[in-house]
Amino acid sequence: MAKEKTVYVCSECGGVSPKWQGKCPSCNAWNTLIESVPESTAPTKNRFASLAKTSGVAVLGDIDAVDMARTPTGHDELDRVLGGGMVEGGVVLIGGDPGIGKSTLLLQALDSLQRSGQRTLYVTGEESGAQVALRARRLGLDNSQVSVLAEIGLEKILATLEATRPDVAVIDSIQTVYSEQLTSAPGSVAQVRECAAHLTRYAKASGQSDGDTRGRATSIVLVGHVTKEGALAGPRVLEHMVDTVLYFEGDTHSSFRLVRAIKNRFGAVNEIGVFAMTEKGLKGVSNPSAIFLSQHAEPVPGSCVMVTLEGTRPMLVEIQALVDSGGPSPRRLSVGLDKDRLAMLLAVLHRHAGVACMDQDVFVNAVGGVRISEPAADLAVLLSITSSLRGKPLPKGFFAFGEVGLAGEVRPAPRGQERLKEAAKLGFSVAVVPKANLPKNLKSKDFEGLTIHAVERVEEAMTVVRDLA
Ligand code: TYD
Ligand code: MG
């Protein structure tokens, strides 16, 4: 097949250049030109390539707001992050480190969808059909009726989708798919973007009838690889293109896995699903609140438990810190927590509480490979650091949460009382929390059987903890 002429499009400003250049001639940004198929020569012979069949302007109130038809996948934790199930014609991008369980989860989901009467297609570009079958057997999915296609050519995949019209299709992975229209190698930004765009358009157009009655639209799940920096390989535009973006998180060495929705046009964002990797694949964990605690018989220095609110469920997570004398340029390292935030917290600690870690290495870690992005972790991070610095453990049954500001103030965390209740339920007894998180009319320090020390400033928190130990 003759190669179509390609152009180079700037990913920043959208400017078009006929040849590759280091600098975009339109906006002068560097390294932003990406090989693309020019609009006019894109293969319009395929119905799905021309979504822009305009149906005219309509008044919003006159348009039927049809509820999206959702199909539960049969895996409650996955349905939770998807906002209830697979949406007809919806496109989901699921990213995560290699070996974390993307293929496993999707194969399990496809199998239960197939068993509930949906037509499914699993397109694999990374494994052979035999390998997929072997995995299915390992998962105990005997006699699975999921259709498998081992293919990496976009045109062939689209033709198969058009011919078989599955209800749900998984493309594992988008980085292995390539289009003959582009000269660049599979996995390159241009290829990934172009292939994802075609598949997305297919999903959106697959349910539209044009003459003949067409069945339900195909939902597509794209599996994406994650770069070393933790971003989905390929341009951000991939995330804009799809309806839902899910990220797999977790430590491949521990058995727990989190699936987080970071974008969802059909549901809540920042909802998480919790799974455990077992001999027979991923199993949902419906009550995950205590899985990110390490089991210390007695309290140890440098450990502080916090309550984080992930999606709709509070979870207790242990924050660990190690402060140790460093060399001439001390190191600050954080796993699962924001590194810049750590630097900021250390500065606040020094300025407002007079605790200096300037010549110390500081390492902090959220146990179990969770990633905590909410600032409510601040107080627990600071308390674990000071606990390690002094070599003194926090009391048994202790926890803390609250955001710390640059002025040294302790700000409330959203839905604080829910967090307190969850910790009380799990047997925690002492807490340092932001004053604003307590009920206004609370007279005593006692809430849900917890001894609570409400603080407004960092230095106050430090004094409270010093007196407790
Ligand atoms: P996989 O789904 O292949 O990861 P990805 O597609 O994200 O790269 O995950 C495979 C890992 O999971 C591998 O390390 C083995 C482990 N595993 C189990 O522990 N139990 C199982 O039943 C299966 C199928 C895999
Ligand atoms: Mg895989």
pLDDT at 78: 95
Q: How far is the CA of 156 from the centre of ligand 2 (A)?
A: 21
Q: How far is the CA of 90 from the centre of ligand 1 (A)?
A: 25
The residue contributing the CA closest to ligand 1 atom 22 is: 281
| 3-state DSSP percent of the chain in helix, strand and coil, to 5 | 30, 30, 45
Alpha-carbon distance of 254 to 256, in angstroms, equals 6
What atom in ligand 1 is closest to the CA of residue 135?
24
Alpha-carbon distance of 113 to 330, in angstroms, equals 52
Residue ranges of the alpha helices (H) in 83-188?
Answer: 102-115, 129-138, 154-164
CB neighbours of residue 46 within 10 Å? 16
**DSSP code of 367?**
G
Name every residue whose Cβ is closer than 8 Å to that of residue 186 and which is 6 or more positions away in sequence. Answer: 152, 175, 176, 177, 178
Per-residue pLDDT of the chain (469 residues; tens, 9 = 90+): 455 678 887 777 777 888 888 888 888 888 878 787 775 544 444 444 445 455 678 888 887 766 677 899 999 999 999 999 999 999 999 988 888 999 999 999 999 999 999 999 999 999 999 999 999 999 999 889 999 999 999 999 999 999 999 999 999 989 899 999 888 888 777 888 889 999 999 998 887 655 555 568 899 999 988 765 555 555 566 888 899 999 888 877 788 898 988 899 888 887 889 999 999 999 998 878 777 777 778 899 999 999 998 777 889 999 999 999 988 889 999 999 999 999 999 999 999 999 999 899 999 999 887 889 899 999 999 999 999 999 999 999 999 999 999 999 999 999 999 999 989 988 899 999 999 998 777 665 677 888 999 999 999 999 999 988 7
Is position 117 annotated in a ligand binding site?
no
The residue contributing the CA closest to ligand 1 atom 17 is: 281
Q: How far is the CA of 104 from the centre of ligand 1 (A)?
A: 6
Pocket lining: 99 vs ligand 1, CB cutoff 6 Å: yes
pLDDT at 231: 58
What ligand has the least distance to the C-alpha of 108? Answer: 1
pLDDT at 103: 95
Pocket lining: 102 vs ligand 1, CB cutoff 6 Å: yes
Name every residue whose Cβ is closer than 8 Å to that of residue 38 and which is 6 or more positions away in sequence. Answer: 4, 5, 6, 7, 16
Which tokens is 431 given?
């807490």
Could you give the strand order of the β-sheet that contains 244-249, starting from the edge strand earlier in sequence?
147-150, 120-124, 168-172, 219-225, 91-96, 244-249, 256-264, 272-278, 281-284
Pocket lining: 280 vs ligand 1, CB cutoff 6 Å: yes
What atom in ligand 1 is closest to the CA of residue 96?
7
Pocket lining: 100 vs ligand 1, CB cutoff 6 Å: yes
Strands 430-434 and 332-335, bridge-based pairing: unpaired
Is position 427 annotated in a ligand binding site?
no
Contact 231, 248 (CB under 8 A): no
Name every residue whose Cβ is closer than 8 Å to that of residue 463 and which is 6 or more positions away in sequence. Answer: none
Pocket lining: 140 vs ligand 1, CB cutoff 6 Å: no
- Whether the bond between 173 and the residue before it is cis, its omega within 30 degrees of 0, is yes
pLDDT at 414: 93
Alpha-carbon distance of 276 to 342, in angstroms, equals 29
Q: Which of 78, 93, 103, 104 for mutating ligand 1's site (highest number of atoms within 8 Å of CB)? A: 104
pLDDT at 27: 83
Contact 405, 436 (CB under 8 A): no
Tokens 């209830």 identify what position?
A: 84
What ligand has the least distance to the C-alpha of 255? Answer: 1
Q: Which residues fall inside 5 Å of ion ligand 2, going by CB?
A: 103
What atom in ligand 1 is closest to the CA of residue 172?
6
Alpha-carbon distance of 93 to 106, in angstroms, equals 12
Is position 207 annotated in a ligand binding site?
no
